[in-house]
Amino acid sequence: MHPPTIWLTSLAVAAGGGWLAATLFAQPATSKEPRFPQLTMDQLDGKQKPLGEEIMKVSSVGIGGPYNPMIRSPVLGQRLFDLFYYLRWQTSVPTRLNEFAILIIGRQWRSQVEWFAHAPLAAKAGLSPDVIADLKAGKRPAGMAEDEALVYDFVTELTTTQKVSDETYARAKRIFNDQQIVDLTAVAGNYVMVAMILAMAEETVPPGKEEPFKVGEK
C-alpha cells in the first residue's frame, strides 16, 4: 500500500531540498566519528535491503535520520516502519494535529532532526507559523484553535506528569472519538522513542543545514 499522492508530493519536495542526498552521501563536518556511519542502499545486506527499499518509497530522508540506526536491527526496524507508516499516513488524527503532536515531542526533546523534518510538514498541513514559532521558543502557543489547544495540553500532560487529568480527558472526548484519542497517545509515545533513537545515535540535520535548536538555548 502506498501513501496518498499529496504525501508523496510533499516527500518528493523535501527530498529535492537536499536532505535525501545529504543523508545518503555525506557525513556531518566533525572530527568525531559518527556512532552509526550513514549507510547506503549498496551497503545493505540481504536482511536489510527489503526494509531499505520500503523506506526509500516513502521517506524524505532516504535511509537517513532514525532509519540509519533502525536498519541495523532489520526485524525491529520493519516492525517500527510498519508502525510509523500507520501513524503518519493511516492514523485517524487529522494531519495538522498529528504533526503538532510530533512537534511537541520534538520540542520537549530538543530533537534537531524531528523538528527539522516535521516543522515544514506541520506548516504545510495548516498549523499556524505563529503556533510553531511559540512552541519552538518554549512557550505555550497563543492563538491555538480549540483542537490544537487540546492536543497541546493532552500531550504535554501525558509526557510531563505521566497522566491525563479528568478535565483534559473530558475535553478530548468532546473533540475526538476513542480511536483518535488512542492514536494521538500512540503518536506522542512513538516520537519519544524516535527522539531517543536519534539522540542515542547522535543523528543530526544534513551538512550545511542549520540546527533548529542552538547550544545554550532552553
> Please, are residues 98 and 148 in contact by the beta-carbon 8 Å criterion?
no
What pLDDT is stored for residue 14 in this prediction? 38
Query: What is the reported pTM?
Result: 0.85
What pLDDT is stored for residue 32 in this prediction? 83
What pLDDT is stored for residue 25 in this prediction? 37
Is residue 10 scored above 80 in pLDDT? no
> Each residue of 88-108: pLDDT tens digit?
999 999 999 999 999 999 999
Counting the structural domains of the chain, the total is: 2
Decide if 182 is inside a domain: yes
Is residue 201 scored above 90 in pLDDT? yes
> Please, are residues 136 and 107 in contact by the beta-carbon 8 Å criterion?
yes
More confidently predicted of 6 and 178: 178
Both 102 and 75 in one domain: the answer is no
What pLDDT is stored for residue 59 in this prediction? 84
Spell out where 114-186 has E strands. none
Decide if 82 is inside a domain: yes
What domain range includes position 156? Answer: 95-199
Per-residue pLDDT band for 60 (boundaries 50, 70, 90) equals confident
Is residue 133 scored above 50 in pLDDT? yes
Both 107 and 78 in one domain: the answer is no
Both 31 and 120 in one domain: the answer is no
What pLDDT is stored for residue 202 in this prediction? 95
Both 115 and 86 in one domain: the answer is no
User: For the chain, what is the HEC assignment?
Assistant: CCCCHHHHHHHHHHHHCCHHHHHHHCCCCCCCCCCCCCCCHHHCCCCCHHHHHHHHHHCCCCCCCCHHHHCCCHHHHHHHHHHHHHHHHHCCCCHHHHHHHHHHHHHHHCCHHHHHHHHHHHHHCCCCHHHHHHHHCCCCCCCCCHHHHHHHHHHHHHHHHCCCCHHHHHHHHHHCCHHHHHHHHHHHHHHHHHHHHHHHHCCCCCCCCCCCCCCCCC
Q: What is the mean pLDDT of residues 144-148?
A: 98
Both 23 and 73 in one domain: the answer is yes
Question: How much is the mean pLDDT over the chain?
Answer: 88
**Residue where a domain stops, chosen among 90, 107, 127:** 90
Both 126 and 151 in one domain: the answer is yes
Q: What is the mean pLDDT of residues 68-86?
A: 97
Distance CA(218)–CA(56), nearest Å, equals 35
What pLDDT is stored for residue 207 in this prediction? 83
Length of the chain: 218
Percent of the chain with pLDDT over 70: 86
What pLDDT is stored for residue 31 in this prediction? 61
What pLDDT is stored for residue 20 in this prediction? 44
Is residue 26 scored above 70 in pLDDT? no
Query: Residue 104 sits in a domain of what CATH number?
Result: 1.20.1290.10
Is residue 11 scored above 70 in pLDDT? no
